[in-house]
């Protein structure tokens, strides 16, 4: 489902395969929800890759296409409010 969404949304580079990669362990990450099945959430990592997190680890329900600002600490994700992020 994640690969299909990435292809149809126009964010993928056509000639390259879409791959699943490990979730970040630390740092901040801006991403978009590309698939969800009630148990897991697939999040875009870049144009042609995504990573998967358990749905309950985000602390709230998310929708496909929703943009998220995440902070990772030791592999755990926390959704942040985008307006509080500094550049």
**CATH class for the region spanning 2-14+26-84:** mainly beta
pLDDT at 53 over 80: yes
Measured distance CA(10)–CA(81) in Å, rounded = 26
pLDDT at 85 over 50: no
The whole-number average pLDDT for the span 48-77 is: 89
Q: Which one, of 23, 24, 43, 25, lies nearest residue 33 by Cα? A: 43
Residues 10-39 have pLDDT tens digits of: 666 677 778 888 988 999 989 989 888 889
- Band (pLDDT 50/70/90 cuts) for residue 82 is low
pLDDT at 49 over 60: yes
Beta strands 19-20 and 27-36, pairing class: unpaired
pLDDT for res 10: 66
Please state the domain extents for the chain.
2-14+26-84
Q: 20 φ, ψ to 5°?
A: -95, 135
Q: Does residue 58 contact residue 77 with C-beta atoms inside 8 Å?
A: yes
Structure-block tokens of residue 6: 């990435």
- Band (pLDDT 50/70/90 cuts) for residue 87 is very low
């Amino acid at each position: 489902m994640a690969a299909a969404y990435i292809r149809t949304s126009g964010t993928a580079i056509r000639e390259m395969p879409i791959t699943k990669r490990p979730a970040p362990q630390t740092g901040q990450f801006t991403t978009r929800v590309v698939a969800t099945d009630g148990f897991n959430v697939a999040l875009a990592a870049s144009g042609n890759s995504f990573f998967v997190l358990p749905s309950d680890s985000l602390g709230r329900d998310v929708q496909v296409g929703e943009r998220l600002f995440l902070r990772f600490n030791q592999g755990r994700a926390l959704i942040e409010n985008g307006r509080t992020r500094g550049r």
